Structure 1
């Protein structure tokens, strides 16, 4: 299959590499051209613009940072929409807001093009192995058309509903649950430390029994060790996703008190200069500060 891939950060590069390894012909574009070179060496065709990549593809995947980036690479000058053939499919795999997904779907439809949302759960190493979890939404025929792409990238695909934005909301809700988990792990750790119990002991005891799941184990170990770098799920991106969730719940008229608490926690941690390069687990610095405990600066 001829596939366009737009956005070659850590996740995008791993996903595009997976598609190349599966034998697809992949046309790539990235805002920073140097990031395309490793994939060129593996057989990808590096295109000059998103429109050019789209014009040569049956399916175009985007994996970009935020709503503004999605709008730019899709509908900006020389964007995907300018090159995508009638009936071709744009697969939005980025974590973006509900309104951004609605806008993309409507504008593609008006142009005779198709759009589905398939945001993902997982880290770059899982992407490289085809072990992401995919949340898919859109017309059933459109999802079937892109199944050769999804099958290579994910170990499981969950169909959420017929409207693309529905998958984006589920992705934001999943990230909200991860952020909430990080906060509870952080608070648990500082209570244990104040009581004279090593945080690692508590984390191992709980994540080896009633909370025996990879997210608890992985984030719990990082928080107990105060190991907040390098970033897997970057703190600024997590903060962005929390804001998008609050915007979505505000539009629905639903209070989400814990998301509001997390909003303030993000602001407090960012005010300490904690930002780019730090993982979501660095949210725990707020709980450490509240308890009057020092962190080791990792």
Structure 2
């Protein structure tokens, strides 16, 4: 590894190098979840490990839809990839298990499978579970038997539940490790990596992930929920920006301003790559979530997590409340078109939030070519 690359890693990883890195064999690594982001992360990780001078075992992968695993194996070969039969095999055979899944329910079910396998065959060496999904950090509180016997029932946060599961296994640790970046950023190994949890585990994982899948690590301490909250704060900024863009594009279309002029303006005054990318999607109706980007279902999930968190800590976010409603409207429009056999896309990308503002303004939600433009007089 070149001195310049080593220097870059030192600058972007907030931990000292793990002690005696050559005194033991390279960790066996597994990856569970090959969605849009997970596939790219696993691909980059497998390629990077194969490029290192010391011998590394192939990345052990598992995905609910086996075809995605087979696609990655075909792309990289058996020297870089192995396919597990089930999640339990990944937990049993690997020292570091990275998870990237769609929602809280699926995440919890996978960790239950991990711990079920490890209770049968308890590990004798350290295992680190790396949770990169965007899951809920907040505690759920429900009113139970409101009429007959009013009481509160408190459910722990998912992070707490996962920690309890992992901690029940000897020598096992959990760190929360959400990432920031669109698929094109993930493809270039330029994700921003956020970490919370056990310090030594974070140190080991940081040098595994940078520069393999990401460019920088941000350490938020030992509380597992902090990284998840930080991820939601970041996503609230992105979602709020989407809502502002959607409203601006809708106002422009109602006022007779061409969408390309608005997109040019965005590039001039808001030149952040993610904002420019979403602006392009809204300007040209590029709402196909199956070719990259973030699905509307994922956007609604994150908006729901953000809103529950704001309620828990008494910190209103009215922009996110409005964005959540517009996401729901956009999804309802898309699902209606799918049922009628008229949908252009199988999956709607969350930039389709603009459908909510368009419909509220009397425009077609997903096809800007149908809009009647007001022509302003000179």
Aligned position for 1:89? 128
Mapping for residues 119-138 of structure 1, pairs under 5 Å = 119-138=178-197
Aligned position for 1:10? 36
Correspondent of 1:219 among 264, 275, 278? 278
Deviations 1:87-140 (A, max 9, x none): 210000011111212221232123231000111112333323211111111122
Structure 1 residues 38 and 226, CA, compared in 2 at 3 Å: closer, same or farther? closer
What is the CA RMSD across the aligned residues, in angstroms? 2.1
Deviates more, 1:89-98 or 1:128-137: 128-137
Correspondent of 2:100 among 60, 63, 85? 63
Aligned position for 1:238? 299
Distance 1:141 1:104 in 2: 19
> Does structure 1 residue 100 correspond to structure 2 residue 158?
yes
SS at match of 1:161: coil
Structure 1 residue 68, shift from structure 2 partner: 0.7
SS at match of 2:301: helix
Deviates more, 1:265-274 or 1:68-77: 265-274
Deviations 1:47-76 (A, max 9, x none): 111121121111000011111111111113
Structure 1 residue 79, shift from structure 2 partner: 5.4
Aligned position for 1:165? 225
> Does structure 1 residue 203 correspond to structure 2 residue 258?
no
Correspondent of 1:285 among 335, 355, 366? 355
Correspondent of 1:229 among 281, 288, 294? 288
Distance 1:84 1:64 in 2: 25
CA contact (8 A) 1:49 1:79 kept: no
Distance 1:19 1:273 in 2: 35
Distance 2:232 2:160 in 1: 15
- Please report the TM-score for the alignment, with normalisation by the length of structure 1: 0.92
Correspondent of 2:169 among 111, 130, 134? 111
Distance 1:89 1:77 in 2: 12
Aligned position for 1:31? 64
Distance 1:142 1:87 in 2: 9
Structure 1 residue 297, shift from structure 2 partner: 7.2
Q: Which runs of 5+ in 1 are unaligned?
A: none
Aligned position for 2:147? none
Deviates more, 1:150-159 or 1:57-66: 150-159
Aligned position for 1:40? 73
Distance 2:308 2:235 in 1: 14
Distance 1:84 1:164 in 2: 24
CA contact (8 A) 1:6 1:63 kept: yes
Distance 1:189 1:213 in 2: 17
CA contact (8 A) 2:159 2:224 kept: yes
Distance 1:167 1:84 in 2: 28
Structure 1 residues 230 and 93, CA, compared in 2 at 3 Å: closer, same or farther? same
CA contact (8 A) 1:92 1:116 kept: yes
Structure 1 residues 84 and 256, CA, compared in 2 at 3 Å: closer, same or farther? farther
Structure 1 or 2, whichever has the larger Rg, is 2
Aligned position for 1:74? 111
Structure 1 residue 249, shift from structure 2 partner: 2.2
CA contact (8 A) 1:53 1:80 kept: no
CA contact (8 A) 1:172 1:241 kept: yes
Deviates more, 1:13-22 or 1:83-92: 83-92
SS at match of 2:253: helix
SS at match of 2:333: coil
Distance 1:123 1:183 in 2: 18
Deviations 1:23-60 (A, max 9, x none): 24311111112221123332211111112112111100
